[in-house]
């Protein structure tokens, strides 16, 4: 059952998520809630009896620390982790560090919505989702997918938009449907792949409702 396993996890809530700021390649850490989300993600993976052979994450602290906390819950603190900026969040350029409400006042609701939710319109000085996909997918095809197809159990802790690029391929989404697809913080997506790299099964490990 553990063959060709790929788990994707968006980092736990970051300090700038909490403050409603555009984050991009800026490097705030996760909040106390983010720590709890990451630990809970690890506990849900542990409850399924999952462990990993290989881990990938971005060059940003919030993703790295989320992964560290998850692996801690699994008793796998010594696992080798590949870090690469190819898995970084989308670069929001001139929007980085700005409050999203203030950005709407400056540029207007429609323009900010276009930058946030269109597929191929980048914010000033930044990346569109299309640009992010073009950066993430070659890395996935060169490093992550081959490991999964070798039978390694792989976990990737990254960001809303870099993971959207992978979900777009795995779930067969289109440029029209992917921008509206939301990834919750700290919720693992458990994929099992067929030998041809298509998806055999997908499980979303939502938090248990109290």
Would you name the residues annotated as active-site residues?
11, 89
Q: Residue 23 and residue 91: Cα distance in Å, rounded?
A: 8
What CA–CA distance (Å, rounded) separates 27 from 143? 24
DSSP class of residue 184? Answer: -
| Nearest-angstrom CA–CA distance, 35 and 82 | 21
**Alpha-carbon distances of 136 from 10, 46, 148, rounded to whole Å:** 15, 28, 16
Rounded Cα distance between 205 and 186, Å, is: 9
């Amino acid at each position: 059952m553990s063959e060709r396993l790929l788990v994707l996890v968006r980092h736990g809530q970051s300090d700038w998520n909490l403050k409603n700021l555009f984050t991009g390649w800026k490097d705030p850490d996760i909040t106390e809630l983010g720590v709890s989300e990451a630990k809970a993600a690890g506990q849900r993976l542990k409850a399924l009896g999952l462990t990993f052979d290989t881990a990938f994450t971005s060059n940003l602290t919030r993703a790295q620390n989320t992964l560290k906390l998850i692996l801690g819950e699994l008793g796998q603190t010594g696992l080798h982790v590949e870090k690469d900026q190819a898995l970084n969040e989308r670069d929001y350029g001139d929007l980085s560090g700005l409050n999203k409400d203030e950005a709407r006042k400056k540029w207007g609701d429609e323009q900010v919505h276009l930058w946030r939710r269109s597929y191929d319109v980048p914010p000033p000085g930044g990346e569109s989702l299309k640009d992010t996909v073009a950066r993430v997918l070659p890395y996935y095809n060169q490093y992550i997918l081959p490991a999964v197809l070798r039978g390694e159990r792989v976990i990737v802790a990254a960001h809303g938009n870099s993971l959207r690029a992978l979900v777009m391929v795995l779930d067969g989404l289109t440029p029209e449907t992917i921008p509206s697809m939301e990834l919750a913080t700290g919720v693992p997506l458990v994929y099992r792949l067929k030998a041809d790299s298509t998806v055999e099964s997908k499980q979303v490990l939502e938090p248990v409702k109290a």
